[in-house]
Structure 1
Amino acid sequence: MDNILRYGSVEAIPLYNCSGHTSQEWSELKGVKWPILGACQAAYGITIDILYLPILSIIFEKENFKMSCFKIMYLLGIIDFLITYVNSILTGWLAMKGAVYCTHPNIIYISGMVVCALWCSSCMTALLLVANRLLGMTKPSLAVKLFDGRKTYIALLFPILYFIYFLFTAPLIFNSKYLAWFYTPMIFDDDATEYFNHSHTVNNFLIVTLTCIVYTPFRWVIGTNLKNVKNASTSQLQNTKRQVFLQSTLICAANQVCATIYVVMNVTEVPNWIIIFAHFTWEFIHGAPVFIYLALNRMIRERFLEKMNMMKGGTFRETTSMMPINRSSGSAPVVIVN
């Protein structure tokens, strides 16, 4: 954003000047077409975003949205929706065309600028969500002071301002040869350091690591609370504890792997399969919440199926559910997602 404001347009930015070759020449020199893999990525992204729309509408329902964690989950859902559009749908389309920065400079620069800011904002929002749930179960009075009512909107200003800040840092740039987004547009072979985004690197190591650290006491609190659940068999307790542990561990592992590889691949050469794996992990991070909501959150699953059935003109009543968990007034479902 800073460069666009300074030079007036993407094409006028010196470090992103593509005048050395034509668009077709750039594609042949730096790009690779992925017709099947690109189509699969786009199909995955479209599926995730279609499923996300009714889930977001459920989270936004009055009875749910009055709880602080649902407000945070709603913002996180919107971020996931937008990131999926870029890292799956748009990326799939660009991959099919064998695109590089200089074949679609405006689309790639602006999308890369926005998706970089969205990713960092999602990291901050996920950290806020874990903190909200942890305080809600361990220090409810403090949680009320920090998140009760409209105070949640004040808390949400942090990831929003975080997003705005990263709009003014170096964007991520897509390259079809590696099927991933880099700091460098790969125009000049010797100037990679000029594009390095230090703020994004700090975010990937600091915020993501901090979120995973906070997950550790969260899992312990969940296990402790489940021991106090009445009318629940041992097998039910163990199943729910296992679900929470696997969910949080999987999310942390995916975040750490993706964040680390995306920094490493911008400072040193790594095998292509590792880069592609990192990108698929990034896609998974923002698509997984859809399946986690539907599999582990009873209320969202029931309302989702009701909405789907209403569209078909029928009625629905689910007969199976997850184990209920006793919780204090105003708190939200135990299972959280990133």
Structure 2
Amino acid sequence: MSEEERAKRPYLGLYFMTSGSFFVILYLLCLASMLNRERIHIPAFKIMICLAIFDIPSECINSVATGYMGFYGIYYCDYPRLTFILGAIVFGAWVGCSASSITLALCRISEINQKLNLHWIFHSSFIYLLLFFSFVVASYGMFFTKPPIFRPEYMTWFFDAGIGFDPSYYYNVSQVINNISLTVITLSLYTYLVSSLIRKGNNIESAQFTKTQRQVILQAAIICFFHSIGSLVCVYMQLFYSPKWLIVAAHVCWQCCTGCASVIYLTLNQTIRSSVRKMICPARFQNDNRVSNASDGMLRTNASEVIS
């Protein structure tokens, strides 16, 4: 294929490479903070570490690798094995991310409403079974389903490689089931979480708990928006004709699904934010965190580390 025939996307390519690298760096800093001995025993942090294991490689592929391949107009025929492997990894990581996100939402609910008697699941060895299940479904998505293939003309990953065969042959039923299930379950769990917080907040006269409410509601809104829009549009565009702007928008939502968790951690989780600041800022630039730590202690008391 000549250079003139290649569908290069230099501006989108630069955007995805730059923003993806930014998200990956932030996520690695957050992961280093979560691996702290004092935090790794907290159930929510265990799940967040598992989620990071899926999100970081996914972000490297759906943003950094996508940007590079789009910048140079790289097709499946140029590097078939590499493209196939990257597609298998990114789809497996997405399926594992979906399972981990649902597990994390259940963990938050168990801490907010202990009457549901779910608390024991996340404070016993059973939590490791849930995390193992995330890796099982990720392995299934990676090794036993059809992988998506990068298409530079659309600047995203399609199951149809665009090499002339019947598109129906490439349909991945697992993706449809996973994305629709993720949307329905995520919306249901976070709706319940937000409603529980609102009811609980009405019975507690605490400015700190009101702040916690706002943070969790904001986080829930961000997660639900990107997961729901990204998941449903990705299913739609695999099955039906979609304009290029919608395809790019869906890919940006996918990027945010896996990358914006780091931004949420650094903006809404005081524990991770303070830890990352200590890692990257010289001691003389670090402010006295006594007030912040006191607030964070109250936050943990009221919401049991539901802000992640």
What TM-score does the superposition give when structure 2 sets the normalisation length? 0.91
- Report SS of the residue matched to 2:154: coil
Matched residue type, 1:114: I
User: 1:103 — aligned with what?
Assistant: 78
User: 1:170 — aligned with what?
Assistant: 146
Deviation at 1:141, TM superposition (A): 8.2
- Report SS of the residue matched to 2:299: coil
User: 2:264 — aligned with what?
Assistant: 292
Structure 1 residues 77 and 317: alpha-carbon distance in aligned structure 2, compared to 1, 3 A threshold: farther
Is contact 1:173-1:185 (8 Å) kept? Answer: yes
Structure 2: any 5+ residue segments left out of the alignment? none
Is contact 1:251-1:285 (8 Å) kept? Answer: yes
CA deviations 1:39-65 (Å, max 9, x no partner) are: 221111111111111211111111111
Is contact 1:98-1:176 (8 Å) kept? Answer: yes
Deviation at 1:237, TM superposition (A): 4.9
Matched residues in 2 for 1:141 and 1:33: separation?
A: 53
Alignment equivalent of 1:87, drawn from 20, 40, 62: 62
Structure 1 residues 81 and 215: alpha-carbon distance in aligned structure 2, compared to 1, 3 A threshold: same
Matched residue type, 1:244: V
Is contact 2:183-2:232 (8 Å) kept? Answer: no
Matched residues in 1 for 2:300 and 2:176: separation?
A: 40
2:222 equivalent to 1:247:
no
Alignment equivalent of 1:61, drawn from 3, 22, 36: 36
Matched residues in 2 for 1:214 and 1:172: separation?
A: 29
User: 1:45 — aligned with what?
Assistant: 20
Matched residues in 2 for 1:332 and 1:287: separation?
A: 24
2:160 equivalent to 1:184:
yes
Provide the identity percentage: 28
Matched residue type, 1:38: G
Is contact 1:120-1:203 (8 Å) kept? Answer: yes
1:99-138 equivalences in 2 (<5 Å)? 99-138=74-113
Is contact 1:69-1:332 (8 Å) kept? Answer: no
- Report SS of the residue matched to 2:306: coil
Matched residues in 2 for 1:68 and 1:253: separation?
A: 25
CA deviations 1:179-221 (Å, max 9, x no partner) are: 0100110001x51000110011111111331121111111122
Deviation at 1:305, TM superposition (A): 0.7
- Report SS of the residue matched to 1:62: coil
Q: Alpha carbon RMSD of aligned pairs, Å?
A: 2.3
1:236-315 equivalences in 2 (<5 Å)? 237-310=209-282, 315=286
User: 1:213 — aligned with what?
Assistant: 188
The structure with the larger Rg is: 1
User: 2:301 — aligned with what?
Assistant: 327
Matched residues in 2 for 1:217 and 1:250: separation?
A: 15
Is contact 2:75-2:152 (8 Å) kept? Answer: yes
Structure whose residues are more often helix by fraction: 2
Q: How many residues align?
A: 304
User: 2:197 — aligned with what?
Assistant: 222
Deviation at 1:299, TM superposition (A): 0.9
Is contact 1:117-1:163 (8 Å) kept? Answer: yes
